[in-house]
Structure 1
Amino acid sequence: MLKAVIFDLDGTLTDSDKVHFEVYKSFFAEHNIELDRDGYRQKVSGRQNNAILADFLPQLSAAEKEDFSDRKEETFRYLAEGQLEPLPGLLDLLSQIKRLGLAAAVVTNAPPENAAFMLSELWLTEAFSPIVIGNDLPRGKPDPLPYQTALDKLAIHATEAIAFEDSIAGIRSAIGAGIKTIGMTTTHSAQELIETGAVEAVADFTDPYIQTCLNQML
């Protein structure tokens, strides 16, 4: 029986990846690295900064990587302020979740400052519990640990939850924890998400499949 709905943040609650892409593109250009949309989808989306920089800028020292990450995220928050909106259907779904007495949680690889910022921008600061931050754990997505941590905090089994994810790393994390996962096509194609393991891929939370899935699990 369904007891919890678990959401990713970037690209799932809101289409923030378009801002992240522009910021990464600009910052990588400072190092003579050209980043296109395909490169962003395959090597950046949904991953933690330390893993991204290990691939793109392995020559940077630990201090330089930390400075890069801090500046990049500060720039993201500056550019995203006032620009973020919930994906269509999200607020109605959250109201339904509350009426049904289900838990709503967030599992994200976003730094804690970004997570707090985005939830505040969306007026959803109090909407989720727990909020699991990948940076607070020994391993972030695509490792299953963030979703396993959410299940532990909720005191439920994987079969009692459903997850929404937009990234390849996120889907691998959720299904690795045994959670049925619906993909969001804000960043990747439906085919990519389903091939990674999503049971279905939808554009937003108004898709009728979501209600069908919830009804089957209640």
Structure 2
Amino acid sequence: MKDTMKDYQAYLFDLDGTLVNSEPLKAQALSMACKDYGVTVDQNIYKAVMGENWETVTGHFFLHAGISPSVSEFNLHFRTYYEALLSDQVSLNSGALRYIESLRAAGKPCAIVSSAASWMVEQILEDLAINHLFDVVITQEDVSKHKPDPQAYTFALHHLALPATAAVVFEDSSAGVLAGIQSGCDVIAFAHDFNGQNDFSQALQVIQNYDDLMPVQR
């Protein structure tokens, strides 16, 4: 049965995993980049660090691969693969487009609040042609502190000129949920195949499909 959710004034979405299926693609690109160093690494090890900062993610893969390249060098390999995978395979999670379009039709501001680099966010929004659906887009370069720090969400709220109590956050990682909670917002967690090890106990609700949410009344 669908749960009726409070009618918030604004809706703030993490991007990777939460709105789009990019986390498995990111895992695949990380594994492919390791292969360039002559090592085969199971992409599923990404599940243990999904949602962590990039230094932690790359360090996890370096440890399993037994390699020690510079992160900047490794990132060039990763970016080549990730851009190609995004262009070919990125898609919105089930029900996400219908849900966001219903919010926009009801006059609700929406924002992207991502810890990913700007180039990743920009490519996804452009590939899916959904830039126009968001009033505010916050990326890694816009803040000095990253999730679980709430800075990105408080920055988005500042841009929207709204208090935290007027907004709801959608996240798919422990760090993201904590960032949303610490910003003062309610949080909805999105569960998928790559985030089963994350803690969603503080989330108001956990969904696997945006159709699980009642549409905004209008």
Partner residue, 2:185: 179
Q: Counterparts of 2:60 and 2:84 in 1: how far apart (Å)?
A: 26
- Alignment partner of 1:96 out of 102, 106, 116: 102
| Deviation of 1:150 (Å) | 0.7
Match of 1:10 in 2: 16
Residue deviations 1:23-71 (CA, integer Å, cap 9, x gap): 112334538584552x41232x12332343456659968xx22222233
Maintained 8 Å contact 2:46/2:57 = no
Runs ≥4 residues deviating over 6 A = none
Distance 1:90 1:55 in 2: 31
SS across alignment from 2:131: coil
Q: How many pairs align? A: 207
Unaligned 5+ runs, structure 1:
none
Distance in 1, Cα, partners of 2:72 & 2:188: 33
CA distance in 1, matches of 2:55, 2:24: 20
TM-score (norm 1): 0.83
Corresponding residue number in structure 2 for 1:49: 54
Deviation sequence 1:182-212 (CA, Å, 0-9, x none): 11112323x84422x21221111011xx228
1:83 corresponds to 2:94: no
Q: Which amino acid aligns with 1:115?
A: V
The residue type equivalent to 1:179 in the other structure is C
**Given the superposition, is the C-alpha separation of residues 73 and 46 from structure 1 closer, same or farther in structure 2, using an over 3 Å criterion?**
farther
Of 129, 139, 145, 2:145 maps to 139
Identify if the C-alpha distance between structure 1 residues 36 and 85 changes in structure 2 by more than 3 Å, giving closer, same or farther: closer
CA RMSD between the two structures: 2.6
Relative to structure 1, the CA distance from residue 56 to residue 80 in structure 2 (aligned partners, 3 Å threshold; closer, same or farther) is: closer
1:132 Cα deviation after fit: 0.4
CA distance in 1 between partners of 2:162 and 2:38 (Å): 45
Percentage of matched positions with identical amino acids: 24
Gaps of 5+ in 2: 1-6
Q: Which moved further from structure 2: 27-36 or 105-114?
A: 27-36
Give yes or no for contact 2:28–2:43 (8 Å, CA) kept in 1: no
TM-score, normalization: structure 2?
0.83
Per-residue displacement from partner, 1:66-123 (whole Å, max 9, x unpaired)?
2222331232011221312211211211121112211000000111111010011111
* Map 1:60-209 → 2, pairs under 5 A: 64-186=70-192, 187-189=194-196, 192-195=198-201, 197-207=202-212
How far apart in 2 are the matches of 1:21 and 1:53? 11
